Amino acid sequence: MRKTVCYLQGVAPAATSAPEQGLASWGETRVVGKSIPRVDGYERVTGTAVYTLDMNLPGMLHTAIIRCPHAHARVKRVDTSAAEKMPGVRAILHGETPVAKIGWYAGPNGPTSWLFDPHCRYEGEEVAAVAAETPEQAFDAARSVVVEYEPLPFVVDMQQAQNAGAPAIHEGGNQPGKPEVYERGKIDAGFAEADAVLEQTYTTSTQIHTPMEVHCSVAQWEGAHLTVWDSTQGVFDMQQELARSFQMPVSSVRVINAYMGGGFGSKLDLGKYTVMAALLGRMTALPVKIALSREDTFRCVGNRPANILTLKAGAKKDGTLTAFSMQILGTTGAYPGGASSAYLVMDLYRCPNVRTEETAVYINAGKERAMRAPGFPQCAWALEQMMDALAEKLGMDPVELRLKNVPDVSQVRSGTPYTSSGLSRCLSEGAKAFGWKENFAKSKGEGAIRRGVGVAAGMWGWEGEANATAILKLYPDGSANLNIGCSDIGTGTKTVLAMVVSEELGVPVDRVQIEHADTGTTQYSPLSGGSQTVVANTPAVRAAAIAVKSDLLALAAEELKQPVEKLALREGAIEIEGPAGRRVPLQELKSLGECRVLVGVGRRQPHPKNKVALPFVTHFAEVEVNTRTGEVRVLRMLAAHDSGRVMNRLTYDNQVFGGITMGIGLATTEARILDAGQTGKMVNRNWHDYKLPTALDVPADMTSLPIELADIEANNTGAKGLGEPVTIPTAAAVANAVRHATGLRITQTPINPLQLVQRLAERRKEG
Amino acid sequence: MRKTVCYLQGVAPAATSAPEQGLASWGETRVVGKSIPRVDGYERVTGTAVYTLDMNLPGMLHTAIIRCPHAHARVKRVDTSAAEKMPGVRAILHGETPVAKIGWYAGPNGPTSWLFDPHCRYEGEEVAAVAAETPEQAFDAARSVVVEYEPLPFVVDMQQAQNAGAPAIHEGGNQPGKPEVYERGKIDAGFAEADAVLEQTYTTSTQIHTPMEVHCSVAQWEGAHLTVWDSTQGVFDMQQELARSFQMPVSSVRVINAYMGGGFGSKLDLGKYTVMAALLGRMTALPVKIALSREDTFRCVGNRPANILTLKAGAKKDGTLTAFSMQILGTTGAYPGGASSAYLVMDLYRCPNVRTEETAVYINAGKERAMRAPGFPQCAWALEQMMDALAEKLGMDPVELRLKNVPDVSQVRSGTPYTSSGLSRCLSEGAKAFGWKENFAKSKGEGAIRRGVGVAAGMWGWEGEANATAILKLYPDGSANLNIGCSDIGTGTKTVLAMVVSEELGVPVDRVQIEHADTGTTQYSPLSGGSQTVVANTPAVRAAAIAVKSDLLALAAEELKQPVEKLALREGAIEIEGPAGRRVPLQELKSLGECRVLVGVGRRQPHPKNKVALPFVTHFAEVEVNTRTGEVRVLRMLAAHDSGRVMNRLTYDNQVFGGITMGIGLATTEARILDAGQTGKMVNRNWHDYKLPTALDVPADMTSLPIELADIEANNTGAKGLGEPVTIPTAAAVANAVRHATGLRITQTPINPLQLVQRLAERRKEG
């Protein structure tokens, strides 16, 4: 009979009470902050990693979706009689299928639309789905489904959609809601006291997320329980939205996400395809896989919406900002969503008088979805070019102008102070490292090939949710198992979490097994997005590790008959301090063996309520413009980031370089092109026609400069968000560099050769 | 941007501090104690439940094991050349395969043997294994593996194995260790002061577990990580033993147990077949399934070993026990293990002078494994017949004799008091409900068909481990998810756990989803065995539910602006007490919706250290003996149990009836028959020749009489163990009833017609 020890009273209180672990700082770190390769690198590169698309279940059916070929149409009739007789076909769903008459719950609010709405509002909208034994059979059968459409007039231009006679996309018209207005101070007085007032309209193109891994779901029913494997950024959000779709208890839905190849926000909401997989699974009593094509991911699962931003700014001679006024027109696509964000204008710089007005409009195109820092790169495109223009007007250095206006507090939060703000340091240390002064002074060279430098700053405006829970199990051999609900969407979250455990317990990272992102078996974490993944989860993991350590030291103190203060856990051993000091490897700790497993529970603790923890950023760009061809080459980027503590320098830099790449895409090549004249269709719906920057399009010379303020007030690991800030100012910095190189202010993304050559020609004509 | 609430400081302390939840009693219950059908009944009866045998993974191989056909032999040569060429064959393992030269770690101590030992010690020992694409190919190829054996002399009789010239099964001889001796008081003085001294030798046959679901494992490697689906009673034990077998970090091994069809102790230890599946998986880089045949389960995965028990007992005229002396000879089979238990003699009755001596011996037969109350039914077979004989000798009623000797404390634990003891009530209330006095007085009828009644008592001697952790997630719609590491081996554990959640939170049981028995994703629970499953897990679950409730009420108090003392959680709603009282359904609690998930963590709390919590039992049997044919029919059983609080009356009664059935099997039909003369082989290795009681062999009239002492000191649900006590006294009660009916004392199990007819004939001859 085994001895029953392991009654540890102190465990959980230690794990959750703030004074003991909540906001403590690490001293010098052994693991955290170092460059550690991904713990799942082997699985990812050898192909043993099972992505949702790799899932195969016995008897699993495959699916093809029939999509509306018109930008705007009404479905008159769906005839499935021929398709039903095709080989391997097991079920067909469309708007007249009784079970399919359900709402589509994407996002936290009520149904966004019907699952199959006979009123198709964009080209690509779902009309029917076929499940068959093989993907080929499903595809063939889908081609045999006859759909009769009544095409309707369409509108794909934001401004045209606002016109009185424009085709109505929804019954209530083309405006999803009232314009969103923010106001502080006295805007007219602000402009009145300004020495310089500038106004400019900027426009951004629609950018597509298009993550490497296409959207995919596998659904399986067991009795009244539904399990869905999904390529999703938030299993708990999917679970809740599926439960609402099917009117089931939340606990009867299980959502699992294993390996994932990117999301960028396009995998935050429940997809119609996921609901279809579940419905087809219920109809056939078989598992069903549904995977989107690359083309589908371009048309149907989100985008960063185009914005038209008119910004008016006032400043005194010394550079003090006096007023900002901004109007943004954005489109949510064919369904409600978020079209824009004026946040940066409200809060990045100290400015007493601000008014912003954001208007959204429907067009006949795929719905937007939150895309990496939704709204912020667009807003930065306007604001940071305006700051550049103001500096020019006032004869100030653009870095100096920004430095002059760095705020101490969050103005949009009524003056709440930041737990830390590295914006000034990002600007000044970034400028120094980049060689800003020298380059800005010298590079207005002549000749056909011109070089220029540009700067742009930014911040991210959301702290994220807080209620993540982590469970850590320590085994007697010193290996550990971490249970946490977050998705690793490809950013290396698992590696960072393992490093936190390693730091705290002295366990090598490869001995930390991580089970994650499964609503059935892991604990709640908020969705992996909005730069909250590391911020929400690492503190909970550290708290759990501290709880385990506290238990372990208590056990060791009892067994070794030593006061607990004399014991330390280092590198898989208990070290007894003092003259009679010795090392006891965990394997030799008998009481640990008897406990079998030490379980620690950790939650993220809130930081002080009267503060706000946000990340800051400044990007510096150097470009070369060929004034004959209009080609822009980004030669060099330096990214100075205050995202609090750097958790893993390797994955940190990867995030920075990835964000810059996306920003360069927005600046120079990416744009959804809709055929406004003939068809309303997206014409560049693939990786050939839609120009994503490749390795050859981004500079080899990219520098990540962490301004490391381990933010001990933000949380117990000191990290702030990184995923969003990395892409916010890039495009504006590039545009400012192009201005510096050429004297041209390009207000419209992408800065493509055609646009540049035209503008250069115009200038030549004018000059 | 979502509000970040859900900072609840009080949660975990409430979940773990003893005064608040540890030992509190429930008042009147709404759910607990009622008869609730199994929550997974639908899955089990429709076949959607996936047992390990049902697992199918893409590319999965199947396995056949080559087993030694001799009771004792040495493997000289294994020739796999023909088998390797057979269709579909992917890998063959045997003693000369380099990777297979590893130890077999069954149980917590060092290797029990080699995985493939050339010295085969029993018929059925593993010699080689073949993995092929189909089960049929594996089976065919196994027949083509040529093994050359050198047969050795064997011994399958315990007493013969002790002889000097007996074949040596291990190098050190046939005795696994020194006899285990327990002694208290002065044994000679005890017998000297007795008015009556009796001595008798009793023998029990070897009983086989043979659970409905055969033993099965599926192993799959992903890089350096091993996942094993296993029909096991303890995933965490398997995980640790596999890690030791493969010299891997514990965290790199994941063991999962889903649905299970019984274990009875035969699925407590790591099986060689499991190690083989993992090895073959590593050799082929494919998933491998290995399933035992029914025949294998009879020979190779355990048994309740035969015992020869010599018991001497002394008592005064008034029934006061003065001394017990017992010698047990038991066999562990061919490998070390547990052969017997003298516990009941030490602790069931008050007796100042006790000496027990237990000797184990090897024989050439399959190793024992702990079987439902290991050692106890054998010990009860002797002790409880002896109590009957003493009563007869002293002219006392057998119930009265027992009642007179019910102890107040655990004598074997130096007088530690029980948290509760219902033994007296089991005896007296059981006797009353059974009609003991009337039946015992009247039933010594004449004629060929005789009826008799018998009584026997018992207890279980192990409290179990304590360190179970449960995690409970409450969703805003009032449904819940429970995460806990224990296996539901078929007893209805999941249902009981859901009932505890339901009781505490007012959630219907079918809205409690349970994820369990997965070392990767669930928390530590001790193995499901030794009557500790409900005892270890329900308190942790209740603690977790209390933690969730405490959070929920705190949230509600804030939102509803009410003092928390005025709030109660009932039937999925917050009720505000007082004149302005109202009900707020959880769905309407905004702050709960914002929290998304409330996570509660609970651990089992220890009961006071100076007490011991154990269950007690008394069984009453009525039998009919046909003195012409020797047939014994058990007509009626009444089982009075003190197992603390009844958690689910339905599954409680099922346990009782199942335990009785197993006890009737031991009493009347079950015995492993080894061919001691010719071959040493087991001759009744299937369900046809090995006689398990069927529904027709057990009485329709079985009564479960819970003596419910909700044991508020034992733990916070008040439950004590049930799975073992239900089978401990049954066989002895039947034997005592046969004695009452016929006047014959049958000391050897099973009481079969042949034995009875012979004894009746002898008596007739003598008479």
Q: What pLDDT digit, counting tens, does each position of A637-695 carry?
A: 999 999 999 999 999 999 999 999 999 999 999 999 999 999 999 999 999 999 999 99
Q: Do B473 and A515 touch (CB under 8 A)?
A: no
What's the pLDDT at B410?
98
- Quote the DSSP letter at residue A15: H
Interface test with B, best of A416, A518, A522, A601 (most B CBs within 10 A): A601
Mean pLDDT, residues B276-293? 97
Give CA–CA dist B208/B202, Å, rounded: 19
Interface test with A, best of B4, B17, B252, B474 (most A CBs within 10 A): B4
**Distant-in-sequence, close-in-space partners of A254: CB < 8 Å, separation ≥ 6:** A225, A226, A227, A228, A239, A518, A519, A520, B513
Q: Name the pLDDT band for A452 (thresholds 50, 70, 90).
A: very high
Give CA–CA dist B309/B200, Å, rounded: 8
Per-residue pLDDT for B292 more than 60? Answer: yes
Confirm or reject contact between B608 and chain A (CB < 8 A): no
Per-residue pLDDT for A11 more than 80? Answer: no
What's the pLDDT at B562?
92
Q: Which residue has the tokens 């500038």?
A: A198
**What would the pLDDT profile of B461-486 be if each residue is shown by its tens digit?**
999 987 799 999 999 999 999 999 99
Q: Which of A1-5, B357-361, B379-383 has the lowest mean pLDDT?
A: A1-5
Helix pair angle (B376-394, B730-742), 10° resolution: 30
**What would the pLDDT profile of B680-723 be if each residue is shown by its tens digit?**
999 999 999 999 999 999 999 999 999 988 888 899 999 999 99
Tell me the CATH class for A374-463+611-766.
Answer: alpha beta
Closest to B473 measured CA to CA, from B484, B461, B464, B457: B484
Chain B, residues 519-578, CB within 8 A of chain A, namely: 519-524, 526
Query: Whole-number mean pLDDT of chain A?
Result: 93
**What would the pLDDT profile of B640-696 be if each residue is shown by its tens digit?**
999 999 999 999 999 999 999 999 999 999 999 999 999 999 999 999 999 999 999
CB contact at 8 A, B396 and B319: yes
Mean pLDDT, residues B617-636? 96
What's the pLDDT at A499?
97
What's the pLDDT at A465?
81
Mean pLDDT, residues B76-100? 96
The count of other CB atoms within 10 Å of the CB of residue A290 is 28
What are the φ and ψ backbone dihedral angles of B110, each rounded to 5 degrees? -40, 180
Q: Name the pLDDT band for A7 (thresholds 50, 70, 90).
A: very low
Q: Do A513 and B251 touch (CB under 8 A)?
A: yes
Give CA–CA dist B99/B93, Å, rounded: 8
Q: Do B473 and A522 touch (CB under 8 A)?
A: no
Q: Which of A97-106, A523-532, B501-510 has the lowest mean pLDDT?
A: A97-106
Give CA–CA dist B105/B271, Å, rounded: 9
Q: Which of A99-113, A216-230, A638-652, B274-288 has the lowest mean pLDDT?
A: A99-113
Q: Name the pLDDT band for B21 (thresholds 50, 70, 90).
A: very low
Q: To the nearest whole percent, how much of chain A has pLDDT over 90? A: 85
String of b and e for B441-454 (b: at least 16 CB within 10 Å)? eebeeeeeebbbbb
Closest to A335 measured CA to CA, from A204, A177, A194: A177
What's the pLDDT at B110?
66
Interface test with B, best of A513, A519, A552 (most B CBs within 10 A): A513
Mean pLDDT, residues A265-294? 96
Sign, CA torsion A266/A272/A277/A278: positive
What's the pLDDT at A371?
97
Tell me the CATH class for B11-30+467-603.
Answer: alpha beta
Tallying the residues shown for chain A, one arrives at 767
Interface test with B, best of A469, A587, A610, A716 (most B CBs within 10 A): A469
Minimum CA–CA partner of B607 in chain A: A7
- Domain B52-152+214-260+267-300 classified CATH 3.40.1130.10? no
What's the pLDDT at B447?
83
**What would the pLDDT profile of B745-756 be if each residue is shown by its tens digit?**
999 999 989 999
Q: Do B511 and A11 touch (CB under 8 A)?
A: no
Give CA–CA dist A212/A231, Å, rounded: 12
Confirm or reject contact between B149 and chain A (CB < 8 A): no
What's the pLDDT at A667?
97
Q: Name the pLDDT band for A18 (thresholds 50, 70, 90).
A: very low
Q: Do B520 and A601 touch (CB under 8 A)?
A: no
What's the pLDDT at A25?
66
**What would the pLDDT profile of A342-384 be if each residue is shown by its tens digit?**
999 999 999 999 999 999 999 999 999 999 999 999 999 999 9
Chain A, residues 474-493, CB within 8 A of chain B, namely: 475-481, 483
What's the pLDDT at B9?
30
**Distant-in-sequence, close-in-space partners of B107: CB < 8 Å, separation ≥ 6:** B241, B269, B337
Distances (CA, A) of A597 to A699, B493, B505: 49, 22, 28
What's the pLDDT at A108?
62
A11-30+467-603 and A374-463+611-766 agree in CATH topology:
yes
ipTM: 0.82
Give CA–CA dist B64/A550, Å, rounded: 48
Helix pair angle (B753-766, B730-742), 10° resolution: 30
Strand ranges of the sheet holding B146-151, from the earlier edge strand across to the other edge = B119-120, B73-79, B146-151
Q: Name the pLDDT band for A165 (thresholds 50, 70, 90).
A: very high
Distances (CA, A) of B567 to B479, B548, B560: 20, 14, 10
Q: To the nearest whole percent, how much of chain A has pLDDT over 70? A: 96
Per-residue pLDDT for A437 more than 50? Answer: yes
What's the pLDDT at B103?
86
String of b and e for A437-461 (b: at least 16 CB within 10 Å)? eebbeebeeeeeebbbbbbbbbbbb
Helices (H) and strands (E) in chain B, counts: 20, 30
Nearest to A251 among B254, B465, B481 (CB): B481
**What would the pLDDT profile of B584-594 be if each residue is shown by its tens digit?**
999 999 999 88
Confirm or reject contact between B4 and chain A (CB < 8 A): yes
Minimum CA–CA partner of B525 in chain A: A597
Helices (H) and strands (E) in chain A, counts: 20, 30
**What would the pLDDT profile of B70-81 be if each residue is shown by its tens digit?**
999 999 999 999
List the structure tokens of B211.
């659970």
**What would the pLDDT profile of B28-62 be if each residue is shown by its tens digit?**
899 999 999 999 999 899 888 999 999 999 899 99
What residue ranges do the domains of chain A occupy?
11-30+467-603, 374-463+611-766
Size of interface A-B (CB pairs under 8 A): 192
- Domain B307-463+611-755 classified CATH 3.30.365.10? yes
Give B604's strand partners. Answer: none
Mean pLDDT, residues B3-17? 33
Mean pLDDT, residues A202-228? 96
Per-residue pLDDT for A22 more than 70? Answer: no
Per-residue pLDDT for B727 more than 80? Answer: yes
**What would the pLDDT profile of A573-582 be if each residue is shown by its tens digit?**
999 988 878 9
Contact list, B465 vs chain A (CB under 8 Å): 2, 4, 6
Sign, CA torsion A546/A551/A556/A558: positive
What's the pLDDT at A467?
79
Minimum CA–CA partner of A49 in chain B: B222
